[in-house]
């Protein structure tokens, strides 16, 4: 794995590889843990039999009768990077974030630049719009607030008097739960010169 797996000898893992012939859908026991050699790859061993081109049908049937599983291809997994994804923890357990606890916000090729809170609402400022997340428990409500005013300078976004002020495509804007409004029209020529 590309991150520490936290497994110990004797732990059970579940392996699902439907594209193999035959498909794998079983539980395996970890039999060995190998130390990381500084490569950033973390290894563990399980017992299984690999299918090779030299195996005959009779040998395969005999081994399958003894409970062997066969892999025709190497299966690998890597961390999935999604710039538009927010992960959330279990209730009352901020350190526990299951891999299935996520919300995709807006277009998956547009990154989240800043997240700010106003009372009961999270504001997600992205390069493709402003989104809000509300709710106290999953499933949370995601709503597009404004897709015409995109964040330009993520570090400029601040909360003041229960409003968000940020430098957006259209200029300095104030963002509330009802939408966004440009407040820098009188300075527009100076802001455009800098941006």
**CA 20 – CA 27 distance, rounded (Å):** 16
pLDDT in tens, 130-187: 999 999 888 899 999 999 988 989 999 999 999 999 998 888 999 999 889 889 888 8
What percent helix, strand, coil does the chain show, rounded to 5?
10, 45, 45
DSSP, res 192: H
pLDDT exceeds cutoff 70 at 73: no
pLDDT in tens, 16-52: 777 666 667 778 888 888 766 666 677 778 777 655 5
**Cβ contact 169:128 at 8 Å:** no
pLDDT of residue 187: 84
End-to-end CA distance of the chain: 43
Region of residue 37 (left: phi > 0; alpha: psi -120 to 50; beta: else): alpha
Q: Is 184 exposed, middle or buried (0-12, 13-18, 19+ CB in 10 A)?
A: middle
What percent of the chain is predicted at pLDDT more than 70?
76
Min mean pLDDT across 55-59, 93-97, 106-110, 114-118 is at 55-59
Measure Cα distances from 34 to 6, 12, 85 in Å.
12, 16, 32
pLDDT of residue 71: 44
**CA 195 – CA 183 distance, rounded (Å):** 16
Report the relative pairing of strands 151-160 and 141-146 from DSSP bridges: unpaired
């Amino acid at each position: 794995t590309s991150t520490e797996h936290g497994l110990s000898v004797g732990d059970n893992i579940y392996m699902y590889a439907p594209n193999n012939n035959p498909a794998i859908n079983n539980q395996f026991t970890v039999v060995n843990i190998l130390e990381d050699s500084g490569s950033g790859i973390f290894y563990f061993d399980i017992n299984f039999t690999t299918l090779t081109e030299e195996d005959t049908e009779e040998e395969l049937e005999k081994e399958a009768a003894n409970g062997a599983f066969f892999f025709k291809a190497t299966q690998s997994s890597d961390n999935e990077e999604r710039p538009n994804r927010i992960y959330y923890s279990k209730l009352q357990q901020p350190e526990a974030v299951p891999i299935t606890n996520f919300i995709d916000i807006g277009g998956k090729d547009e990154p989240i630049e800043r997240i700010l809170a106003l009372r009961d609402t999270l504001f997600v400022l992205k390069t493709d719009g402003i989104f809000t997340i509300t709710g106290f428990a999953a499933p949370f409500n995601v709503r597009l607030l404004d897709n015409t005013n995109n964040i330009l300078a993520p570090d400029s976004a601040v909360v003041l008097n229960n409003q968000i002020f940020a430098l957006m495509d259209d200029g300095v804007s104030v963002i509330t739960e009802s939408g966004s409004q440009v407040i820098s029209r009188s300075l527009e020529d100076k802001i455009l010169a800098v941006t």
